[in-house]
Copies of this chain bind each other. A is one copy, B any other.
Amino acid sequence: MQLSCPLPKFDFDVITLGHGSGGLLTHRLLQKGVFDILGNEFLGQQHDGASFHMDGKLAFSTDSFVVHPIFFPGGSIGDLAINGTVNDLAMCGAQPQYLSLSFILEEGLKTDEFSQILADIKTAADKAGVKIVTGDTKVVEKGKGDKLFINTSGIGTVHPGAAIHHQHIRPGDRVIISGNIATHGMAIMSVREGLEFETSIISDTVALNHTVYTLVNRFGKGIKFLRDPTRGGVASVLNEVAELTELGVDLVQSRVPVEEQVEAACEMLGLDPLYVANEGIFLAIVSEDIAAPFLQALKEDELGVNAAEIGVVSVNHPRKVIMESRIGGSRVVSYLTGEQLPRIC
């Protein structure tokens, strides 16, 4: 994804260990490159941390990103690093505001690639409406990392009307998914070495905060639980819910939205879409009485056009997720065991 904002111009071609020294080269890397594109009044102070005023209930989240490859159809590790933490905060019912950004660069990383990642970060942060206020850069020797790893942590203000906690989930609550599942995972798999396949699947990576905040603002405590089903997919999130609440979840397979070519790709690789990672959808558990207007509001949002009610919380089979299959049978959907798709985010 080539972006329109100007790329930072580094006056050297590759990252060396010296760029992590804390000395002159680190200084140059930041001054003549990173700050060109990410610079703002916070980073400009060049302090060890950023300071700002906040009041009330805050949400705080962190994620490290090790996705491979770092560029993939529909995005890059840069987009993912911003959207991932933004979405985690959104799932707490918060509006993300301030992000930290920390790089672990591998010696030999091409500055062309680093520039593009920085541009992607800037674009994603602007779209999400968050400020990158503090950061860190380390460099490890060639062969001790893999191009670059990124950590972002973030802070946001929780909506005063939000009451998102698994303790609020009750039997009869509805399980709603905001869009097609398994898209991000299959986009990554399509460009993995030794596995490349022809497809037009692109990652769904996107910031969900504006969509979610509007819903929280309107439906308040009717929203019991929000989660973006990244690693481990929808199946893992629902198993966590079943375990934490000691209730069951009834899923209806035919209602779970999957794009046709994503489903075909999953079938080809022998993967169940319920376990494949997503980066641009969320799963909501809402009270029965708001389920219909919630779903309608979501479907009117451009990020929710494929939203669907896919299941219900149940007193039957506590701690288990049971899916009614398309052919009428039912089966237990358990936690993902092992690892199908390493380094998906």
Contact = CB atoms under 8 A, between A and B. Distances in A.
A61 interface: yes
A27 to B, nearest CB: 6
A63 B136 contact: yes
Contacts of A23: 231-232, 235-236, 275, 335-339
Nearest to A88: B48
A98 B60 contact: yes
B231 A22 contact: yes
B338 A21 contact: yes
A60 B134 contact: yes
Contacts of A16: 339
B49 A59 contact: yes
Interface in A109-168: 133-136, 138-141, 143-146, 149, 151, 153, 155, 158, 164-166
Query: Which of A27, A52, A151 lies at the interface centre, i.e. has the most chain B CB atoms within 10 A of its CB?
Result: A151
Interface in A219-243: 227-228, 230-233, 235-236, 240
A57 interface: yes
A62 B231 contact: no
15 contacts: A20-B231, A21-B338, A22-B233, A48-B91, A48-B228, A49-B94, A51-B158, A52-B60, A53-B56, A60-B98, A63-B102, A64-B104, A143-B143, A145-B146, A149-B149
Query: Which of A48, A101, A143 lies at the interface centre, i.e. has the most chain B CB atoms within 10 A of its CB?
Result: A48
A233 B232 CA distance: 43
Interface string A178-201: 000000000000000000000000
A51 B47 contact: no
Interface string A52-92: 11111111111111101000000000000000000111011
